Amino acid sequence: MANARIIQEKQQIVEEITAKLRESATTVLTDYRGLNVAQVTELRRKLREAGIEFRVLKNTLIRRATANAELTELDSVLTGPTAVAFGKDDAVAPVKILSQFAKENEALKIKGGVVEGRVVGFDEIKALADLPSREGLLSMLLSVLQAPVRNFALAVKAVADKKEAEA
Give the total number of structural domains in the chain.
2
Q: In this predicted structure, what is the pLDDT of residue 1? A: 52
Q: What pLDDT was estimated at residue 42?
A: 92
Q: Same domain, yes or no, for 47 and 80?
A: yes
> Do residues 66 and 137 share a domain?
no
Which residues contact residue 58 at a Cβ distance below 8 angstroms, ignoring those fewer than 6 apart?
82
Specify the CATH number for the domain of residue 6. Answer: 3.30.70.1730
What local confidence, expressed as pLDDT, does residue 133 receive?
67
The ranges of the chain with pLDDT < 70 are: 1-2, 133, 167
| CA 73 – CA 83 distance, rounded (Å) | 17
- Tens of pLDDT along 63-74? 999 888 888 888
Q: What is the pTM of this model?
A: 0.73
Domain encompassing residue 154 = 133-166
Domain co-membership, 6 together with 85: yes
**What share of the chain in percent tops pLDDT 90?**
12
Burial class from Cβ neighbours inside 10 Å (0-12, 13-18, 19+) for residue 127 reads exposed
